[in-house]
Amino acid sequence: MARKFETTATSTTLGNLGIAPYEEKEGEEYMSEGQKVHFRLILDTWKTQLMEEVDRTVNHMQDEAANFPDPVDRASQEEEFSLELRTRDRERKLLKKIGESIQTLDDDEYGYCESCGIEIGVRRLEARPTATLCIDCKTLSEIKEKQLGK
């Protein structure tokens, strides 16, 4: 029986990570020490989850690898492995983004738009912890991308 894997790379939310949303304090400055600790926890937890999934995939593929005499069974297994490897490749790229986000956190640049420099916002960062653009710049980027794609 084929084993199903959750795709944590594409469906991660604070709930999936088991982390409560940040409670902003009245008068608190943006990217305060408390917020930095919160986002480091999110990024580190997400990274750990992805690394564990990589380990599970390797173990699963080693355990399930078999040379089926039936070509249909063999093709089915190869397709399953192919899908898992594509998912892990996306997660590998996501791990790189998470590492970059952790580095910007260490450099005190996390949470600010790379394009215009304004605050990205706590809620947007909780929804997409690797975001590097504010919502306005991201929207403009997507519009330009669609226009160039046509």
41-62 pLDDT, tens digit per residue, is: 999 999 999 999 888 887 777 7
The residue range of the domain holding 108 is 29-149
Radius of gyration, alpha carbons of the chain? 19
Counted domains in the chain: 1
Q: What is the pLDDT of residues 84-107, one digit of tens each?
A: 889 888 999 999 999 999 999 999
The Cα–Cα gap between 53 and 63 comes to 15
Does some domain include residue 134? yes
How many Å apart are CA 139 and CA 33, to the nearest integer? 29
Residue 54: CATH number of its domain: 1.20.120.910
